[in-house]
Amino acid sequence: MDIEIIDRLAIRDLIENWVVWRDAGDWDRFRTVWFDDGRMVATWTQGTADEFIAMSKAGWAKGVSIMHFLGAQSIDLAGTRAISQTKMTIAQRALVHGVNVDVMLTGRFYDFLEKRDGKWGMVLRQPIYEKDRMDPVVPGAPLKLDADLLASFPEGYRHLAYLQSQIGYQIKPDMPGLRGAAVEALYASGKKWLNGEKLDR
């Protein structure tokens, strides 16, 4: 089989394992998708893979409910480096002002990947947040949001950020969205990565 096809299959397998193992709380296997210097950047946490896993475990123990679903994928390969973009949905459920709600967010996982000693692994995962919404789990349940707080978060993830702020997380205010300087800077970093340059941390 062509080596490029093998690499693409391995990368897709890695991306799918991330979602399944993370959402199932299969932490030992989840750790295997990351290199030791791997990093995760999200609305509610930014740090090493081990820090992300520790925070995910702590949230899991407290009943934090975050699920991920995957769609189409595009992979740019350059030897032993790759950039993978995968359409995704994040679904999170929590109490907001005493009402049980679901937030659904559509975006992309933008992943910096590398092949080391014959194995592909994740170096950096940076989600792109495109649009979201919040709905009461019980249809018609009265829910009144703080309009000023909601507007203080970027459009692409403002409902997710609102929910996460209500359960105690500090929210990163400048995550990339569908358009704008942050996502353009991310694309530029991706091009540098594929060209063999050092990843900006």
Q: What is the pTM of this model?
A: 0.95
Cα distances (angstroms) measured from residue 151 to each of 105, 155, 164 = 16, 8, 15
Mean pLDDT by 10 residues, the chain (201 residues): 92 98 96 97 94 93 92 97 98 96 98 97 98 95 95 96 94 95 97 92 61
- Structurally, at CATH architecture level, domain 3-194 sits in Roll (3.10)
Q: Tell me what pLDDT residue 1 has.
A: 67
DSSP string, the chain: --HHHHHHHHHHHHHHHHHHHHHHT-HHHHHTTEEEEEEEE-SS-EEEHHHHHHHHHHHHHTT-EEEEEEEEEEEEEETTEEEEEEEEEEEEEEEETTEEEEEEEEEEEEEEEEEETTEEEEEEEEEEEEEEEEEESSTT------HHHHHTS-GGGHHHHHHHHHTTPPPPTT---SSSHHHHHHHHHHHHHHTTPPPP-
> Cα separation of 151 and 162, whole Å?
9
> Cα separation of 196 and 119, whole Å?
18
Q: Tell me what pLDDT residue 199 has.
A: 86
Q: Is the dihedral of CA 85, 112, 83, 34 positive or negative?
A: negative
Q: Tell me what pLDDT residue 153 has.
A: 96
> Cα separation of 108 and 86, whole Å?
5
Q: Tell me what pLDDT residue 73 has.
A: 98
Q: Tell me what pLDDT residue 200 has.
A: 74
Task: Give domain limits for the chain.
Answer: 3-194
Q: Tell me what pLDDT residue 69 has.
A: 97
